[in-house]
């Protein structure tokens, strides 16, 4: 039964992750008074890209090709540790959240290396920004997860999230969990290159962070990158929803559907944020990320008290 739950979750994640992008775009369109793109556009884009050829720079090496592949593999693997709606994930062991953080780090390391491999000044600039901001986002993520581990009896992601229910939220640890939610939301926006940290819709290469690193990738490579980034959105969304909507009915399917509905809600919130505020000036981004770390430290102190 446990294994089945993990499998179903993982398959749904792989199938539905691009849908989150559609929800974000539809939300933004609704705010701008537009109809918005078709719901299945992200899938169509992936399909289209997979059927294209790729162009490689003469100066690029195998690192450039490895970037998207390792990026997708590592993100997909990390996803198998993530429980949605409190249902246990496919794999879990005590301390697995460290592995998840390192898998995401591995994906980033390869993406950055691939960007540097092109020798383009733009991509070098994007890589340096990405590394700086993710270095600052990582403590916030780890401290948030440690706080959750402290508030819950478990030590693996599945156990931690199974242990967080509405009772915990209503208990003394509740305020700390709200701080964790805020920190996780900032980490989600930062790691997924969303406004106010990055603007996924911009065409201005000098302002880009994440997008500029993948400018030289095309065709199937770009499809892998797009798909991996939608999986990443799902991953961080699930981490946030697990704390923000800890409704546990005890029925596996009901909890899973609740978790997925929560993910859709997260996508709507991301779309809302993008519709009502401007991007931060690049020099201000570290302040926001450090603030997220501070929030999670305070949360940890509150829980350990």
Partner 1 sequence: MSQNTSIAVHNGQAFATGDWGDLDVERFRSEVLNAVVKGGRISALFAQPRGDGAFRLMAAVAQDSQSMLRVLATSVESEYPSLAPLCPQAHWFEREIWEQHGVVPAGHPWLKPVRFPRRGGAGAVAVAPPPPAVCGLADFFRMSGAEVHEVAVGPVHAGIIEPGHFRFQCQGETVYHLEISLGYQHRGVEAALAGGPNRRTIHYIETLAGDTTIGHAIAHCRAIESLSHTRVPPRAQVIRGIALELERVANHVGDLGALAGDVGFLPTMSYCGRIRGDVLNMTALLCGNRFGRGLVRPGGVAFDLDDPAVTELARRARTVAKDAAVAVNLLWNSPSVMGRFERTGTLAADICRQIGLVGVPARACGIGHDVRQDFPFGIFRFAQIPVSTCDSGDVFGRAYVRWLEVQRSLAFIIDQLKALPPGAVLQPAGPLAPASSVITLAEGWRGEICHVAATDADGRLAWYKVVDPSFHNWFGLAMALRNQQISDFPLCNKSFNLSYCGHDL
What whole-number distance in Å separates Cα of residue 233 and Cα of residue 193?
Answer: 10
What are the tokens at 296? 């999670």
Residues numbered 256 to 295 that lie near partner 1 (CB under 8 A) are 274-284
Shortest distance in whole angstroms from residue 215 CB to partner 1: 9
Contact at 8 Å (CB) between 56 and 65? yes
Shortest distance in whole angstroms from residue 269 CB to partner 1: 15
Cβ distance to partner 1 smaller for residue 129 or 226 = 129
Per CB under 8 A, 102 contacts partner 1? no
Contact at 8 Å (CB) between 299 and 150? no
Rule CB under 8 A: choose which of 10, 24, 28, 302 binds partner 1: 28
Q: How many C-beta atoms surround the C-beta of residue 173 within 10 A?
A: 21
Rule CB under 8 A: choose which of 65, 125, 264, 265 binds partner 1: 125
SS3 92: coil
Per CB under 8 A, 109 contacts partner 1? no
Contact at 8 Å (CB) between 197 and 209? yes
Rule CB under 8 A: choose which of 32, 53, 62, 250 binds partner 1: 32
Cβ distance to partner 1 smaller for residue 31 or 56 = 31
Contact at 8 Å (CB) between 9 and 28? no
Per CB under 8 A, 58 contacts partner 1? no
Binding segment (CB under 8 A) for partner 1, from list 29-37, 65-73, 159-167, 242-250: 29-37
What whole-number distance in Å separates Cα of residue 79 and Cα of residue 63?
Answer: 24
Residues numbered 192 to 231 that lie near partner 1 (CB under 8 A) are 195-196, 199, 201-207
Helix (H) or strand (E) run with residue 50 in it: helix 41-50
Kindly report the backbone phi and psi dihedral angles of residue 36, in degrees, each rounded to the nearest multiple of 5, phi listed first.
Answer: 90, 165
Rule CB under 8 A: choose which of 31, 56, 102, 178 binds partner 1: 31
Cβ distance to partner 1 smaller for residue 281 or 305 = 281
Per CB under 8 A, 302 contacts partner 1? no
Cβ distance to partner 1 smaller for residue 106 or 280 = 280
What whole-number distance in Å separates Cα of residue 244 and Cα of residue 304?
Answer: 20
SS3 109: helix
What are the tokens at 68? 């998207």
Binding site for partner 1 (CB under 8 A): 28, 31-34, 121-122, 124-125, 195-196, 199, 201-207, 274-284
């Amino acid at each position: 039964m446990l294994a089945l739950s993990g499998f179903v979750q993982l398959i749904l994640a792989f199938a539905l992750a691009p849908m989150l992008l559609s929800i974000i775009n539809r939300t933004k369109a609704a705010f701008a008074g537009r109809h918005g793109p078709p719901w299945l556009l992200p899938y169509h884009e992936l399909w289209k890209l997979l059927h294209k050829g790729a162009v490689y720079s003469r100066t690029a090496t195998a690192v450039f090709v490895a970037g998207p592949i390792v990026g997708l593999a590592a993100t997909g693997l990390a996803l198998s540790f993530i429980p949605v709606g409190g249902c246990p994930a496919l794999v879990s062991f005590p301390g697995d959240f460290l592995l998840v953080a390192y898998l995401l780090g591995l994906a980033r390391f390869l993406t950055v290396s691939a960007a540097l491999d092109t020798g383009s000044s733009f991509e070098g600039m994007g890589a340096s920004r990405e590394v700086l901001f993710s270095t600052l986002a990582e403590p916030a993520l780890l401290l948030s997860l440690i706080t959750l581990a402290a508030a819950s009896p478990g030590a693996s992601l599945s156990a931690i999230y199974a242990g967080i229910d509405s009772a915990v939220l209503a208990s003394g640890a509740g305020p700390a969990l709200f701080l964790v939610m805020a920190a996780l939301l900032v980490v989600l926006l930062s790691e997924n290159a969303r406004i106010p940290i990055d603007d996924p819709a911009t065409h201005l290469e000098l302002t880009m962070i994440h997008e500029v690193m993948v400018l030289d990738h095309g065709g199937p490579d770009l499809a892998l990158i797009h798909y991996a980034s939608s999986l990443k959105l799902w991953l961080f969304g699930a981490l946030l929803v697990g704390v923000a909507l800890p409704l546990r009915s005890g029925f596996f399917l009901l909890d899973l559907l609740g978790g997925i509905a929560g993910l859709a809600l997260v996508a709507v919130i991301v779309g809302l944020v993008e519709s009502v505020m401007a991007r931060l000036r690049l020099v201000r981004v570290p302040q926001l990320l450090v603030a997220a770390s501070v929030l999670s430290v305070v949360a940890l102190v509150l829980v350990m008290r």
